[in-house]
Amino acid sequence: MTFPLKNHPGILVVTALIIGLLVWGFWPKPVLVETALVKRAPLTLTIEEDGRTRVIDRYVIAAPVNGMTCRMHLEVGDTVTKGKMLLAITPLESPVLDPRSRAQAQAQVLAARSALQAAKQQVESAQASANLARDEVKRYRTLLDKGLISQETYDKSNTAYLMATANQRTAQFREDVANHELQAAQTTLEYSAANTEKSAQTPQERVEVNSPIDGKILSLNRKCEGPVTTGESLLEVGDPSALEVIIDVLSADAVKIKPGMKVLFDRWGGELPLEGAVRLIEPVGFTKVSALGVEEQRVWVVIDFVSEPKEWARLGDGYRVEAKFILWHEEDVLQIPASALFRYQDGWAVFTLNNGKAKRQTVTLGKRNGLTAQILAGLSEGDKIINHPSDSVEEDVSIEERP
């Protein structure tokens, strides 16, 4: 005996409801994705490393004679002027020099005089180079204002002027050092007990050690009274207003850096970043163990400040800075997030959003900085792409944007 279903409408309703739920449950659901727009914006390629400042020319003041030093009343950071007495040394009674030793002392004085003359010639040469570079910058400034040369040409001439000025200052410091060394050699010869009778009749004079430059005390190796030997380091002086920045970079990055390249310094303590220019990439590398215990080949890069001195006047010797070497920069670049890219047929591709469906689109890339990639072909400004595509995203899959 059978019962027609039409006589039991409840069973029909329940059956239809179950079938509907099964269809709804197994029906493909849209994949939730994060989207981004293809846009035009500035793009910069940089190399970022930590560095530190360094006084360009620092002087190690050494004892010119054997003797006893007085108690030093100077402190690190004290200002000194050229010719100011830093400390005094009471020489030990020296024996009469034999002919050979006296000849050697006289030869050292003559060598120091020759070195001083050579340093003076270098100062004149550096002065001439600086004057020529300054005149060239003025001439290029006029041509740039008239639109006859490019900004890059003017920047190169300005960098050459800055380097010539730094070389002039270094040459002047070398002259001061040569003069100081001559004074040291003459002092050694003068206080070498050339005449025993005179030394016995007159009290022994103290040898004054004077500052070779205007600057500040950078370090003190000793402050108490005590014996010293010739050549022993006593203190260091330097001019903190003449600073440079030294940075060790990977050798693979060093080959990308060129003299004159622009550098920005962030997180140095000031509100605005400072600007510098690469002066020197040292030709010799060294091995350094990273924090992860990996041996790396590093290269020292020396950078001069381009910003006005008043902007970095608060920096001193050994201060930490974060440097960004500007390898490449364009103001108007078609770009997308690098996280939207994936490998496809020996190239690169992205998923675009078209009428709620995912569409695979191959692209041609240009420059990349790790976070952003330049698009040369395949996309247009305003296109919507899928960022961070998961394995669920495939061709023609239904897509729903995350709110």
Q: Provide the 10 A C-beta neighbour count for residue 123.
A: 19
Output the tens digit of pLDDT for each of the chain's 403 residues: 454 555 556 666 666 677 666 665 555 567 788 889 999 999 999 999 999 999 988 888 888 888 878 777 888 888 888 888 888 887 776 555 566 767 777 787 788 788 878 878 887 887 888 888 888 888 878 887 877 788 888 788 888 888 888 888 888 888 888 888 888 777 766 665 444 445 545 555 778 888 888 888 888 887 777 788 888 888 888 888 889 999 999 999 999 999 999 999 988 888 889 999 999 999 999 999 888 888 999 999 999 999 998 898 889 888 999 999 999 989 999 999 999 999 988 899 999 988 888 899 999 999 988 889 999 999 999 899 989 888 888 888 888 887 6
CA triplet 287, 289, 291: central angle to 5 degrees?
Answer: 155
pTM of the model: 0.58
CATH hierarchy code of domain 31-45+331-401: 2.40.420.20
Q: Reduced to 3 states, what is the DSSP secondary structure of residue 246?
A: strand
- Measuring CA to CA, how many Å separate 299 from each of 50, 166, 236, 320, 346? 13, 22, 26, 18, 35
Fold topology of 47-54+241-329: Elongation Factor Tu (Ef-tu); domain 3 (2.40.30)
Strand 399-401 to 31-37 pairing: parallel
Long-range Cβ contact pairs of 387-392 (< 8 A, separation 24 or more):
387/33, 387/34, 387/35, 387/36, 387/337, 387/339, 387/340, 388/33, 388/34, 388/339, 388/340, 389/33, 389/340, 389/342, 389/350, 389/351, 389/358, 390/31, 390/33, 392/31
User: If you count them, how many residues does the chain have?
Assistant: 403
Provide the pLDDT for residue 287.
92
Provide the pLDDT for residue 1.
46
What is the spatial distance between Cα 149 and Cα 143, in angstroms, rounded to a whole number?
6
Provide the pLDDT for residue 202.
53
- Measuring CA to CA, how many Å separate 317 from each of 73, 95, 287? 22, 42, 24
**Angle (deg, nearest 10), helices 151-190 and 99-145:** 160
Provide the pLDDT for residue 232.
84
What is the spatial distance between Cα 213 and Cα 227, in angstroms, rounded to a whole number?
26
Q: Is 197 left (phi over 0), alpha (psi -120 to 50) or beta?
A: alpha
- Rounded to a whole number of angstroms, the CA Rg of the chain reads 36
Provide the pLDDT for residue 197.
46
What is the spatial distance between Cα 311 and Cα 165, in angstroms, rounded to a whole number?
19
The two tokens of residue 62 are 């050494």
Provide the pLDDT for residue 22.
64
Provide the pLDDT for residue 196.
42
Sign of the dihedral through C-alpha 302, 306, 307, 310:
positive
